[in-house]
Amino acid sequence: MRILLAQVKAEFNVEKNADRLIKIVRNHDADIYIFPELYLTGYLLRDKVIENAVTPEDPVMRKIADLSNGKIIVFGFPERENFIYNSAAVMHDGKIEVARKIYLPNFGPFEEKLYFKEGDAPFVTNTSFGKIGVQICYDAFFPEVAKIQALKGAELIINISASPVTSRSLFETVIPARAIENTTFFAYVNWTGLQRTMEFWGGSMLYSPRGSLIYKAPYFEESIGIVEIDTSEIDIARRLRPTLRDTRRTFFNLQSP
């Protein structure tokens, strides 16, 4: 399975961002294409998020989804549905699914609760490449999100992010921990560059089910990395350290997948 991690900048322009995404998908051979949090519109929209939010069936979304036959495309966008959500589009085989950010940061430079409503459930979907879980940025700091995704069968967990430089050391600690805890592949795709007053550090990464670093993007510059993973590593990792088998599912009110 080939995974493309698109550590790219975006403008406050939906059409330009969508066109660049489409160009990257068309020009690179992969099975899964991952772009950062709120990539479609730019991250620091503030009150302009209201006029820029789109529904999953908006024409620009459908144009991207039409490219998803035989592949998966994941990117962040502000979703309009009664409320506005900080969401990830998960497109595969022409379908559009949505993963909503569960934990919204509202401290320091972050003010997401002013503009977005929280999602209410960890997202997992079944695809032609197996089950994947998708979460967004701050969700990674709450281990129950990834744990529930893994218990529901996710073999790959994707976190799309807009993380500023002040959070770099924290994400570089948390992401491998989530992979080890859940014996899953874990892909993290971050913004890079400067937007308004916030500088994003990049450093997108992919970890194996045993916590080995498979891929690391450079800091503070755009990068498109394509990595091939072997999902048979998951069974090996789970035999060597059966954290999912030994998880007390009653804590999560879940049955075996």
For residues 87 and 105, the answer to whether their CB atoms sit within 8 Å is: no
Catalytic residue among 131, 137, 147, 155: 137
In the annotation, is 137 catalytic? yes
* Interatomic CA distance for residues 209 and 61, integer angstroms: 32
Catalytic residue among 9, 37, 112, 147: 37
The position carrying tokens 């079944």 is 126
In the annotation, is 37 catalytic? yes
3-state secondary structure the chain: CEEEEEECCCCCCHHHHHHHHHHHHHHCCCCEEECCCCCCCCCCCHHHHHHHCECCCCHHHHHHHCCCCCCEEEEEEEEEECEEEEEEEEEECCEEEEEECCCCCCCCCCCHHHCCECCCCCEEEEECCEEEEEEEHHHHHCHHHHHHHHHCCCCEEEEECCCEHHHHHHHHHHHHHHHHHHCCEEEEECCEEEECCEEEEECCEEECCCCCEEEECCECCCEEEEEECCCHHHHHHHHHCCHHHHCCHHHCCCCCC
* Interatomic CA distance for residues 202 and 171, integer angstroms: 11
Q: Strands 223-228 and 83-92: what pairing?
A: unpaired
Catalytic residue among 9, 71, 101, 131: 101
Write out the catalytic residue numbers.
37, 101, 137
